[in-house]
Structure 1
Amino acid sequence: MPRNKYPEETVQKILDVSLKLFLEKGYEETTVLDIIHNMGGMTRGAFYHHFKSKEEVFDTLSDKLFSDNNPFDEAKKQDNLTGLEKLKYVLQRAGTVDSESQQLSISVMQLLSSPAFLKKLIIDTNRDTLAPICQDIIEEGIKDGSIKAQNAKMAAEIFVFLVNFWNIPTLFPITEEEAWDKIKTIKTMLDSIGLPVLDDNYLEQFK
């Protein structure tokens, strides 16, 4: 079999087809064979040359979607904003991510029963990726005086847990009324550690 001269194009095509199937069928219902059969003649060997499993496809796709819509990168470019304003900017951008990213997230919520997926969500995403980025912004805010937190590392971990993890309804089921109480509780907790990120404008948008 001749060597693929354009491996990047093949990888991108696998990701595009996989995303389409994940959104249409759901992550659990999509198989590697489904992906291969929608690749227009790709062999199983060609698929496994680029990805070891469906899980690796999803990991790559998730990382790409995050990097393409990463509000932290955009926030860091806003030199005219304080550290606190950059965190507010992140929350505002995170609430307006593209529909494909939102639909993909919803389609894999059933994976929360998987220990491997929970590890990726809790450790790889929240602890090892988001918390350090938030810590950098919080440290910047402490220096410019917009953030009064005493410990940037702990404040970042609390921020990520409350805003990104505790807000997953599949893990912590809530009613519509409870959602409003929860967001007010999060505001109170963040205010108490010197992170007044959820201002009245944010609460009004959330409501």
Structure 2
Amino acid sequence: MARNKYPEITVKRILDAATRLFQEKGWDQTTIQDIIDELGDLTRGAFYHHFKSKEDIIDAVLKRLALENNPFEQVEKMDGLNGLMKLKTAIQLSFTNNHGQFNALKSIPSILKSPTLIANQLLECIRIGAPSIQSVIEEGVKDGSISVHYPKQTAETFVILSNIWLSPIIFTVSTEEYMQKVKHLQQLYNGIGLPIIDDQILISFENFHRNL
């Protein structure tokens, strides 16, 4: 492949191909050569110029999916909602928006054997997810719908618990135990002035887990 003076184009093509293959074949069954063959005009050297391993690829794919499907950015554009309503709406949107991300995660049965991948996802939750949530929480504090004292720390713990501790891929449990975890978070958030998990959201969590 001729040297591309726009490397971001090559990176996008690699990620597009990798995402398709991961979801079609699974992570363990997809090789770097498969990705190269999928593109047709990419050399092995060009691939390794951008990504050093399959773990680098899946990490980049998941980061892109998270950026493209951030429900908290979507609710910021909605009118007529207070801060609490925006948070509840974002949670409902996340069940749909994160479908592709969970499909990608499900293609990695050995995820728990990759502490680096989990650590990277944890850091991205804080870097990408928490600021958007913090903004909405602060809006809710101003309009009186939320009464937390520490918006930044609340946002960080919310995103960590929701994306890591509640992940059915990282922590495999029955639906009954999963809902016990969700109800524990409901009590926890209610106790700090963030009543975001209502009966409708509880049903959405349960349906989400049963349909995985």
Question: Which TM class, normalised by the smaller chain length?
Answer: 0.7 to 0.9
CA drift of 1:96 comes to: 1.0
Q: Secondary structure, in 3 states, of the residue corresponding to 1:181? A: helix
Please list the CA deviations of residues 95-130 of structure 1 after superposition, one character each: whole Å capped at 9, or x if unmatched. Answer: 1126433311211352232121121122x2222222
Please list the CA deviations of residues 134-173 of structure 1 after superposition, one character each: whole Å capped at 9, or x if unmatched. Answer: 2221111111111011211222223223322211234433
Gaps of 5+ in 1: none
Q: Distance in 1 between matches of 2:2 and 2:113?
A: 42
Q: Distance in 1 between matches of 2:134 and 2:176?
A: 32
Q: Are positions 1:161 and 2:160 aligned together?
A: yes
Q: Secondary structure, in 3 states, of the residue corresponding to 1:30? A: coil
Q: Are positions 1:187 and 2:195 aligned together?
A: no
Q: Distance in 1 between matches of 2:11 and 2:128?
A: 24
From the superposition, tell whether residues 172 and 102 of structure 1 become closer, same or farther in structure 2 (CA, over 3 Å). closer
Is residue 72–residue 133 contact of structure 1 (8 Å, CA) maintained in 2? yes
Paired position in structure 2 for 1:120: 120
Is residue 106–residue 169 contact of structure 2 (8 Å, CA) maintained in 1? no
**Which letter maps to 1:55?**
E
Q: Distance in 2 between matches of 1:128 and 1:7?
A: 24
Q: Distance in 1 between matches of 2:125 and 2:65?
A: 16
Paired position in structure 1 for 2:147: 148
Q: Are positions 1:172 and 2:171 aligned together?
A: yes
Is residue 191–residue 197 contact of structure 1 (8 Å, CA) maintained in 2? yes
More off after superposition, 138-147 vs 149-158? 149-158
Is residue 11–residue 50 contact of structure 1 (8 Å, CA) maintained in 2? yes
Paired position in structure 1 for 2:108: 108
Q: Percent identity?
A: 44
Q: Distance in 1 between matches of 2:144 and 2:195?
A: 12
Paired position in structure 2 for 1:33: 33
Please list the CA deviations of residues 34-72 of structure 1 after superposition, one character each: whole Å capped at 9, or x if unmatched. Answer: 211222242212222343333333233222222222212
Is residue 142–residue 148 contact of structure 1 (8 Å, CA) maintained in 2? yes
Q: CA RMSD in A?
A: 2.3
CA drift of 1:9 comes to: 4.3
Paired position in structure 1 for 2:49: 49
From the superposition, tell whether residues 12 and 154 of structure 1 become closer, same or farther in structure 2 (CA, over 3 Å). closer
Q: Secondary structure, in 3 states, of the residue corresponding to 1:174? A: coil
Q: Distance in 1 between matches of 2:165 and 2:99?
A: 22
TM-score computed with the length of structure 1 as normaliser:
0.86
Q: Secondary structure, in 3 states, of the residue corresponding to 1:201? A: helix
From the superposition, tell whether residues 200 and 133 of structure 1 become closer, same or farther in structure 2 (CA, over 3 Å). same
**Which letter maps to 2:16?**
D
Paired position in structure 1 for 2:14: 14
Q: Distance in 1 between matches of 2:111 and 2:58?
A: 12
The alignment of Structure 1 onto Structure 2 pairs a total of residues equal to 206
Is residue 129–residue 159 contact of structure 2 (8 Å, CA) maintained in 1? yes
Q: Distance in 1 between matches of 2:173 and 2:89?
A: 26
Is residue 75–residue 86 contact of structure 1 (8 Å, CA) maintained in 2? yes
Q: Secondary structure, in 3 states, of the residue corresponding to 2:96? A: coil
